[in-house]
Amino acid sequence: MILPISLFSVWADFGPVGQGFNGDGSVYFDDAVDQYIEARNDGYPARVWRLEPTAGIMADVTGDADDVIRRRCMSRHLDLPEWLYSQAIAAE
């Protein structure tokens, strides 16, 4: 079996239900960003992870996902989602 070089997945905290993956993993980072946006818009804390099965590596790429969302909003002249705007204010 040939494994992809990288898989992207979103891990969310669903509160009393527990933690788990939000949606299926994807070989496309943009699909994972969309799943991340969905989880955050539903009010769940979430992280985006890059999994490299052949190397046994798992890396948090949530910051990269946040950057993609900022660029999408800027290019479409949209306001940042409230949860991302709040993160930016807290970081200052």
Print pLDDT tens along the chain (92 aa). 565 688 999 999 887 777 887 778 888 999 999 999 999 999 999 999 999 888 889 999 999 999 999 999 999 999 989 998 876 555 55
DSSP string, 34-91: HHHHHHHHTT--EEEEEEETTTTEEEE-HHHHHHHHHHHHHHTT-PPPHHHHHHHHHH
Predicted local distance difference test score (pLDDT) of residue 85: 81
Please give the model's pTM, rounded to 2 decimal places: 0.83
Q: So what's the pLDDT on residue 21?
A: 76
